[in-house]
Amino acid sequence: MTPPRYCLFDLDGTLTNPETGIVRSMQHGLSAMGLPEVDHATLRASIGPPLQDVFSRLGVEDVDAAVVAYRERFTEVGMYENEVIPGIPAVLDALVADGWTLGVATSKPAVFAEKILEHFQLDGFFTYVAGATLDGSRRYKADVVRHALDVLGATPEATVMVGDRREDVAGAAECRVRTVAVRWGFGEPDEFTAPEVISVVDTPEALLTVLRETARPAA
């Protein structure tokens, strides 16, 4: 298989820890719909899949209105209740220095992802930020990954995905892209058992090592 030289990163739980901002904004959306508060652990476990799907699973009838309420708070303050995963900037810097082309592939609307990356000074590492559309017409990870590959001109064989949830693994696999899963995000161990997972890593340093190994030509 062709050694990858393109790497797509998930955002939430992979590059940054957005738990506080997302959970509080979900609570705001639920409250706006007159629904009772949901426990923090349940909402934390919901970080990753498309927001429309999350609210639907939580029993919201008017999903579109809940999303609007969520985004009101998220746009004002929630997106900044966030922090970069320690060690990630060094990984990105090393990959760019090694000649990789980096992109972001997130189920978060691209307009929010771009602002978050710029705020935390990560935007300069990425050639393209692929995300969901605000109207939800593109929101599933496979569609986002496919869009990123098209824009970057990357083949699946030359690309690897880095993510923290089963949606990252499954979405990339649908596009014939392999995944390195990270344990510092929101996923559980059983989310990373698919054959398309190259490796599961515990630290950014280990992530860099694995990516460099995948890029080494076969002997």
- Which are the catalytic amino acids? 10
Torsion angle of C-alpha atoms 192, 197, 151, 118, degrees rounded to 10: 50
Residues 6+ apart with CB under 8 A from 41: none
- Mapping DSSP to helix (H, G, I), strand (E, B) and coil, where does residue 7 land? strand
* First-to-last C-alpha distance (Å) of the chain: 12
DSSP for 8-60, please give it.
EE-SBTTTEE-HHHHHHHHHHHHHHTTPPPPPHHHHHTT-SS-HHHHHHHTT-
Q: Residue 26, class by beta-carbon neighbours within 10 Å (0-12 exposed, 13-18 middle, 19+ buried)?
A: buried
Using alpha carbons only, how large is the chain's radius of gyration in Å?
Answer: 17
DSSP class of residue 212 equals: H
Picking from 140, 133, 171, the residue whose alpha carbon sits closest to that of residue 50 is: 140
Which pair of tokens denotes residue 194? 């698919």
CA angle 117, 164, 176 (to 5 degrees): 95
